């Protein structure tokens, strides 16, 4: 009878040690550009230099610096459809 109890105890220990506590909420993915929220990076059109992008606090819209042949110009950061990317405050959203 003791021979039957020993394998059961080993099996129980194996099952218990194989369990791990898993956090049910997935971690938030990090933006490859720390100055931009991940949602902006995901929505921005691919032809823009996101490494120079920033948010202007006066209008809550995002811009990037385009390095042209003659000068560097601040341009609005746009999505693939051409719309400018901005943060809309909850008070400004239509009801």
- pLDDT tens digits for 21-51? 444 555 556 777 888 999 999 999 999 999 9
User: Average of pLDDT values for 81-94?
Assistant: 81
Helices (H) and strands (E) in the chain, counts: 2, 3
Contacts by 33-41, CB closer than 8 A, 24 or more apart:
36/62, 40/77, 40/85
Q: What pTM value is reported for the model?
A: 0.63
């Amino acid at each position: 009878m003791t021979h039957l109890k020993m394998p059961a105890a080993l099996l129980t220990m194996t099952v218990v040690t194989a369990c791990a506590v898993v956090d049910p909420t997935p971690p938030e993915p990090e933006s490859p550009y720390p100055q931009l929220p991940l949602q902006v990076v995901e929505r921005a059109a691919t032809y823009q230099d996101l490494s120079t992008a920033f948010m202007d606090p006066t209008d809550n819209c995002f811009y990037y610096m385009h390095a042209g042949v003659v000068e560097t110009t601040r341009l609005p950061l746009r999505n693939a459809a051409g719309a400018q990317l901005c943060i809309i405050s909850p008070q400004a959203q239509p009801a």
